[in-house]
A and B are shown apart, each in its own frame.
Chain A
Amino acid sequence: MIRIENLSKSFTLHNQGGAVIPVMAGAALAVNPGECVGLTGQSGAGKSTLMRMVCGNYLAAGGRLVVGDLDVVRAEPRQIIALRRHTLGYVSQFLRVVPRVPTLDVVAEPLLAIGTPAEPARERAACLLQRLNIPERLWSLSPTTFSGGEQQRVNIARGFAHAFPALLLDEPTASLDAANREVVLTLIEEARARGAAILGIFHDEGARARVCDRLVDVTGFTPRAAA
């Protein structure tokens, strides 16, 4: 489902003397449907960079990066938009939403975006918020006012609202208590069971051991020149 071959990335800092900083070279991995692959490596090794490249947030310098049947490296912006809408879900560590939009609508939005009618979309959102223990009295409020843990759970609910065939998870269990951690891990297992290809970063070793089929150390993708 996700296949990466010889992927490379560098940043050019035009406003700092045009310094070119290579951050990745020769990255390769594959995630099959129904499989969960964890990225490991030290902080700054390029885990998040790789994730961002998969979803098209960072441009790749070279190589191939195929999600479903789309090569993200060469894709048109609108193809990536469609990819994110239908195929590739992304749970980031940060919640970025329009302020003042009710939580329920924030979670239902990915479903509305693919044309799900408002009623079932809201029902699905409510169901997820319930499972993630967000009190119902908060659903009509904007999540921008929530605590970090609550925002993280809203983010997860949003990411799992639509049954994406591929999922990127960036530290989904960080800042969660035991009960909610359990809910999130169950959600991941369910997604894997229905055939989703999952690529994730888990600092929580217990979680990593429980949901990941394989681990890939991104340290191996660090360019030699810079090392």
Chain B
Amino acid sequence: MTVMEKVAATDQPLLKVEGLTRRYGPRIGCADVSFDLYPGEVLGIVGESGSGKSTLLSCLAGHQRADLGRVSYDGRDVLAMAETERRRLGRTDWAYVHQNPRDGLRMGVSAGGNVGERLMAVGARHYGQIRGKAVDWLGRVEIAADRVDDRPSAFSGGMQQRLQIARNLVTSPRLVFMDEPTGGLDVSVQARLLDLLRGLVRDLGLSVIIVTHDLAVVRLLAHRLMVMKSGRVVEQGLTDQVLDDPQHAYTQLLVSSVLQV
């Protein structure tokens, strides 16, 4: 069997989204969004502010109810799922990285406690093992082990964001939602974080949906790209193809509007 046939035959989409729609009264949050996400794939969602990309992300992650459509994760209907089950997914198989680390961290709890929370939430009851795993994960996101008992408020923005990632990935999720993960960081810190994310995606086989307005970030991180405007997907395809040979008027405008360095 060739590689191509293997790709086609063996894996099933991890996430299957069909006709997802969310309205805010007469206004559209996002409308008729459909896509498949396969294991190990990084999907970028770009568009200007208010294009519906964040609404889409929070509908997918179950933080908001969708009005119409279907989302199935690993063959299970996410929208029809009981809340208990969806929240369980949220702390085991799924992860959500917020733009502002303060939204995703417990600022009053030590770095180790932050990373350990998901472990304890799924039943870990051995302090030594929890702590060992927390230290291991801090190492993976390049935070020194001797910071394990410090609170995130003592960390820089970049460290907080890496801590948030460690906290999310400690339970080996399969699907990670990221909302502008490099948003508030200065460029040199961004680069390090991007490299870290690429490595984690590759080594852990993560599937990622990343929302951003930074085209440079998606070019380096995302395999596939979805462009949104006014709540609708106007174009999707291979990331470099969409950026280098955009088909839709809006994408052409978006790409040509980026300042060259």
**In the complex, A touching B, CB below 8 Å?**
yes
Residues of A within 8 A of B (CB): 11-15, 52, 56-59, 68-70, 77-83, 86-87, 96-101, 112-113
- The answer on a CB contact under 8 Å between B248 and A14 is yes
Q: Report whether B4 and A15 are in contact in the complex, using a CB–CB cutoff of 8 Å.
A: no
| Across-interface contacts of B198 in A (CB, < 8 A) | 98
A15 contacts B202, C-beta separation under 8 Å = no
Asked if B245 and A68 sit within 8 Å, CB to CB, the answer is no
Task: Pick 9 A–B contacts, CB within 8 A, sort by A.
Answer: A15-B256, A52-B244, A59-B241, A77-B237, A79-B4, A97-B220, A98-B194, A98-B195, A99-B191
Q: A52-B245, A78-B223, A82-B7 are in contact. List 20 more A-B contacts (CB 8 A).
A: A12-B247, A14-B248, A14-B249, A15-B253, A58-B241, A59-B237, A78-B41, A78-B224, A79-B4, A80-B238, A81-B41, A81-B223, A82-B4, A83-B4, A86-B3, A97-B220, A98-B191, A99-B188, A100-B188, A112-B202
B251: min CB distance to chain A, Å: 9
Indicate if the CB atoms of B2 and A68 lie closer than 8 Å: yes
**A10 CB, nearest partner CB in chain B, Å:** 11
Interface residues of B (CB under 8 A from A): 2-5, 7-8, 38, 41, 188, 191-192, 194-195, 198, 202, 219-220, 223-224, 237-238, 240-241, 244-245, 247-249, 252-253, 256
Q: Which residues on B sit within 8 Å (CB–CB) of A11?
A: 245
Nearest neighbor of B244 in chain A, beta-carbon distance: A57
Given A68-B2, A78-B7, A86-B3: A96 touches B219 (CB 8 Å cut-off):
yes
Give the shortest distance, in Å, between B16 (CB) and chain A (any CB): 13
Chain B residue with the shortest CB-CB distance to A118: B203
Query: Chain A residues near B237 (CB, 8 Å)?
Result: 59, 77
- The minimal Cβ–Cβ distance linking B156 to chain A, given in whole angstroms, is 16
User: A59, B245: Cβ atoms under 8 Å?
Assistant: yes
Distance A97 CA – B219 CA, assembled complex (angstroms): 10
A176-B15 Cα distance, complex, nearest whole Å? 46
Contact status A13-B223, CB under 8 Å: no
Q: Which residues of B contact A96 (CB under 8 A)?
A: 219-220
Find chain A residues with CB under 8 A from B245 CB. Answer: 11, 52, 57-59
Q: Are B238 and A87 in touch, CB under 8 angstroms?
A: no
In the assembled complex, the CB of A195 is this many whole angstroms from the nearest CB of chain B, namely 16
CB distance from B243 to the nearest CB of A (A): 9
| Complex CA–CA separation, A86 to B7 (angstroms) | 11
Contact B38–A57 (Cβ < 8 Å): no
A98 to B194, CA, bound (A): 7
* Residue of B41, B188, B252 touching A13 (CB-CB under 8 A): B252
CB-based contact B238/A79 at 8 Å:
no
Give complex CA distance A78, B240 in Å. Answer: 13
CA distance A82 to B7 in the complex (A): 7
The answer on a CB contact under 8 Å between B3 and A56 is no
Q: Which 7 pairs between the two chains have the least Cβ-Cβ distance?
A: A14-B249, A99-B191, A58-B245, A82-B7, A100-B191, A77-B238, A86-B3
Give the residues in chain A near B41, CB-CB below 8 Å: 78, 81
A129 → B minimal CB distance (Å)? 19
Are A79 and B202 in contact, CB atoms less than 8 angstroms apart?
A: no
Assembly CA distance A112 to B238 (angstroms): 21
Q: List, in ascending order, chain B residues with CB within 8 A of A80's CB.
A: 238
A8-B246 Cα distance, complex, nearest whole Å: 16
Q: Cβ of B194 and Cβ of A79 under 8 Å apart?
A: no
Report the bound CA distance from A86 to B2 in whole Å. Answer: 10
Contact B241 A56, beta carbon cutoff 8 Å = yes
Closest chain-B Cβ to A81's Cβ sits at a distance in Å of 5
Given contacts A83-B4, A87-B3, contact A100 B195 (CB under 8 A): yes
Q: How far is the CA of A227 from the CA of B38 in the complex (A)?
A: 44
